[in-house]
Amino acid sequence: MMTMTTTRRRTTKITMTMMMMMMTLMMMITTMTTITMLLVIVTIMLLLLLMTMLLLMMRWMRRSRTRTRATTTTTTTTMMMMMMMMMMMMMMMMMMMMMMMMM
């Protein structure tokens, strides 16, 4: 039962991400030039990869409860750092988008 629920959740997440990607691509196609579009696509792909990595980290943390607390704390800190980096990337992307729109 647990495995079934986890798989369902994973699939839903994947589908959601795919939908978001499609929407973003459509928006880019409608609004921007080819070069900028390519850059944005690459950045989105990187962000998705980071998200997947974070999800995997979460899974490993949940699984490896037997390990010491130090490792878990380090993983949480790294996750926080990754999240911060992602947020920064998103902000940068938004700024770039705004700039391009203005131009």
Q: What is the pLDDT of residues 11-54, one digit of tens each?
A: 677 677 777 777 776 776 666 566 666 677 777 777 777 777 77
Residue 102 pLDDT exceeds 50: yes
Query: Would you state the pLDDT for residue 24?
Result: 74
Q: What is the pTM of this model?
A: 0.34
Per the CB < 8 A criterion, the answer to whether 1 and 9 are in contact is no
Query: Would you state the pLDDT for residue 33?
Result: 62
* Radius of gyration (C-alpha) of the chain in whole angstroms: 17
